[in-house]
């Protein structure tokens, strides 16, 4: 009797791998630190900073309007809450509609299944952040 060939396992995408792809696309989109406040000097490499931290609400984990490039110096200020309102002021000035959407849908929940993670990963790798924004908005609104 002949042994059956083993089925190839489809490698699952991890949330970390998808987040890395989205963060890279964000840094490429923004190209420089979002905060040019004239008070704090920009220092260090660019990071992708979430307005709403992923630990607080994973719904907006991959949502491009929730993520902006910051240098390590400004990211540290945001992370340590040394000046908690500067990011909010910046969002209100630059992205008021997106901020309102996130606040309105704060209690929404998105299930990041493998097909959804694959779609997000593919959009991020292509740098299609506008399409990614619309895709995630549809997931949020349509449940």
| DSSP string covering 19-45 | HHHHHHHHHHHH-S-S---SSSPP-S-
The residue-averaged pLDDT of 43-52 equals 83
**Spans of all domains in the chain:** 15-142
Mapped onto helix, strand or coil, the DSSP state of residue 7 is coil
| Strands (E) located in 32-133 | 46-50, 67-71
Query: Is the pTM for the entire model greater than 0.75?
Result: yes
* Predicted confidence (pLDDT) per residue in 86-97, tens digit: 778 888 988 999
Name the nearest CA neighbour of 64 among 31, 23, 103. Answer: 23
Query: Does pLDDT of 104 surpass 80?
Result: yes
* Predicted confidence (pLDDT) per residue in 32-41, tens digit: 887 765 566 6
């Amino acid at each position: 009797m002949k042994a059956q060939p083993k089925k190839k396992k489809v490698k699952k995408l991890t949330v970390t791998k998808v987040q890395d792809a989205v963060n890279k696309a964000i840094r490429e989109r923004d190209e420089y630190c979002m905060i040019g406040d004239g008070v704090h000097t920009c220092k260090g490499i660019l990071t992708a900073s979430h307005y709403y931290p992923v630990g607080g609400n994973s719904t907006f984990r991959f949502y491009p309007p929730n993520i902006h490039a910051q240098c390590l110096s400004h990211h540290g200020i945001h992370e340590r809450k040394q000046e908690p309102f500067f990011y909010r002021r910046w969002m209100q000035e630059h992205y008021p509609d997106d901020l309102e959407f996130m606040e309105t849908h704060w209690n929404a929940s998105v299930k990041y299944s493998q097909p959804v993670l694959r779609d997000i990963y593919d959009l991020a790798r292509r740098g299609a952040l506008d399409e990614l924004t619309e895709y995630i908005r549809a997931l949020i609104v349509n449940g």
